[in-house]
Amino acid sequence: MKLFLVVAAAAVLTGCSQQPAPKTAAAPPPPAKINHFYAGASAVERGEPVSLCYSVENAAAVRIEPPVEGVSPSPNRCVQAKPSADAEYKLIAAGRDGKEVSQVVQVKVVARSAASRQAAGGGLIGAFAATATQVGPGQPVTICFDATQAQSVRMDPAPQAMPSGRKGCVSLRPERTTTYKLTAEGGGRTDTRQVTITVQ
């Protein structure tokens, strides 16, 4: 009987001494990240649009200042702005952790007589640019284009997965230095832009 009481008392004391397991703290949300933000042209004619292209991750909200319509969180998106004078556009991505990150691009506005055809995009191609112009062999690079005014668009050399529309992005892994050419056609006009990815 005494042995039973001793064992029972020990069990009660052991149970009382056990502390509840601490609750595991929830992992904080990942911070917002801007992968790229660039303008389709560094200079445009006064009154002409320019494409602003960006890629963000883990963003709860995205905005561009000064305000531009159509901005929302996206891994690859282009929107159009129409600056009336030299402008600096700031992309701001807000994370679910309450913190913001930002990047800026500058666009110059030149007189109509001084703008080159390439800088203005030729009227059909609003943007054709790469996230990087220098990469290592086989490293990824994204090229985005915006040719919504065209009826047809093609890229040479042709990527394995070309977007079906006249606006989008392609991911490439060039093994050697390559010049990519975008050709847009529509309304009896042909417009071309090119970008060279240097592989080192």
Q: Give 60-97 pLDDT, tens digit per residue.
A: 999 999 999 999 999 888 888 888 889 999 999 999 99
CA distance linking residue 68 with residue 82, whole number of Å? 9
Kindly report the average pLDDT of the chain as a whole number: 81
CA quadruple 123, 164, 134, 39: dihedral sign? positive
101 in Cβ contact with 26 (< 8 Å): no
pLDDT of residue 7: 46
Q: Could you list the beta-strand ranges (E) of 100-161.
A: 100-110, 127-130, 134-135, 141-146, 152-156
Which of 107-116, 158-167, 181-190 is predicted least confidently? 107-116
In this structure, the chain runs to a length of: 200
pLDDT of residue 121: 41
- Residue 39, Cβ neighbours under 10 Å: how many? 23
Residues 6+ apart with CB under 8 A from 13: none
pLDDT reading at 42 higher than 50: yes
Q: How far does CA 23 lie from the centroid of its chain?
A: 37
* pLDDT: which is higher, 117 or 59: 59
pLDDT reading at 119 higher than 50: no
Burial track 97-120 (b if 16+ CB lie within 10 A, e otherwise): eeeebebebebbbbeeeebeeebb
Q: What is the DSSP letter of 121?
A: G
Q: pLDDT for 22-40, tens place per residue?
A: 667 788 899 999 998 888 7
- Phi, psi of 41, rounded to the nearest 5 degrees: -150, 145
pLDDT of residue 114: 44
The pTM for the full model equals: 0.57
